[in-house]
Amino acid sequence: MSGSIRIREGFRDQILYVVPRPILERLRQHPLLYQLVPTDIGFFPQARYHYCARPEGAPEHILIVCVDGAGWCQIGDNRHVLTANRAVLIPKHTPHVYGADENAPWTIHWVHLVGVVADYYVSLLPEDVYTMSVDPHATQMVVSLFRECYESFLGSFVLQRMIYISQTLHHLLGTLFFNNRAFSPTLRTSRFHNLEETRNFLRQNLHSRLTLDEMAAHARLSKSHFVRLFKEQTGYSPVDYFIHLKMQHACMLLSVTRKTVREIAWEIGYDDPYYFSRIFKKVIGMSPRRYREEQGRTQPHAILEIGDLSNHKIV
């Protein structure tokens, strides 16, 4: 940054909250706060001359999300440019300097975080990588969650509000890392192949008996490469994932329609209702009829986990 004007904070229409450290230490004893809690949080709009240097780093992890304009961040020997829809996550105790671009000063939302959950998210970034792209939809959600935090701080640092803020930040970090099409923490190379289109293809073909070959062909990948990438991005094999989607749809039909088990089986691609019932029980933990009896005509519950179905094939 040329010139001598450097401002750490004090921008027009800024938002800034700092949790008093004695209060912070007491809050961190709570079981819902010791894993993730903000120490400082803010919004700096068009922050001209913004500049901050920490030769020893900060005792907290720092997340900065740029939504307009531009800025930069120097970490070690690497200088990173931040523009709209870009974020930087600076690990605690890491020396750094950052500032706004002189000609187009950035607008940023930022937060300082402590706790093992924050440690975990920092670990998801590849070594010596501190920045990430944020797709516009994720940026919109992140900004909304930041504003939710700001509004919650209006209630002071009372325990209930701090718990709510912590949970909101869980959602914010989850959005950045796991619901952000511009970034995937599970892949460590730039050759990222986004399989969202293929997952949409599976959702649109629940009535079909798609084979693994057909799934891989849709993704335009070899079968082995497709299976590896799919499991990295979802945690499931393609076949397990497709069965999961089918059973989730079956739960909805059992809960909100009067269709028979045979009709539901047919609708999601099973000719044999007995085979469908066996798969349903394997995934859900009970038969379709029992599920319908327990759920009645209420909305279905989300399926939280799925058993190992790697030996089942869609026929």
Is residue 126 within 8 Å of residue 183, measured between CB atoms?
A: no
- Per-residue CA distances from 2 to 8, 22, 75, 102, 103 (Å): 16, 38, 19, 8, 11
What's the pLDDT tens digit per position in 85-122?
999 999 999 999 999 999 999 999 999 999 999 999 99
For residue 315, the model assigns a pLDDT of: 32
What's the pLDDT tens digit per position in 11-48?
889 999 999 988 999 998 999 999 999 999 999 999 99
For residue 10, the model assigns a pLDDT of: 84
| Average pLDDT, integer, range 213-228 | 91
**How far from the centroid of its chain's Cα atoms is residue 58's Cα?**
25
pTM: 0.65
For residue 296, the model assigns a pLDDT of: 62
For residue 33, the model assigns a pLDDT of: 93
Check whether 6 has a pLDDT greater than 80: no
| Mean pLDDT of all residues belonging to the chain | 87
For residue 9, the model assigns a pLDDT of: 78
Check whether 227 has a pLDDT greater than 70: yes
For residue 302, the model assigns a pLDDT of: 40
Check whether 281 has a pLDDT greater than 60: yes
How much of the chain exceeds pLDDT 90, in percent?
67
How much of the chain exceeds pLDDT 70, in percent?
89
Domains of the chain: 15-178 (2.60.120.280), 196-295 (1.10.10.60)
For residue 35, the model assigns a pLDDT of: 93
Is residue 193 within 8 Å of residue 229, measured between CB atoms?
A: yes
Sequence-distant (6+) residues with CB within 8 A of 202 are 210, 215, 238, 241, 242, 245
What's the pLDDT tens digit per position in 127-171?
888 999 999 999 999 999 999 999 998 867 788 999 999 999 999
Count Cβ atoms within 10 A of the Cβ of residue 189 and give its class: 0-12 exposed, 13-18 middle, 19 or more buried.
Answer: exposed
What's the pLDDT tens digit per position in 229-278?
888 778 889 999 999 999 999 999 998 899 999 999 999 999 999 999 99
Sequence-distant (6+) residues with CB within 8 A of 235 are none
Is residue 35 within 8 Å of residue 96, measured between CB atoms?
A: no
For residue 127, the model assigns a pLDDT of: 80
| Average pLDDT, integer, range 273-293 | 93
Tokens of 287: 């038969």
For residue 158, the model assigns a pLDDT of: 86
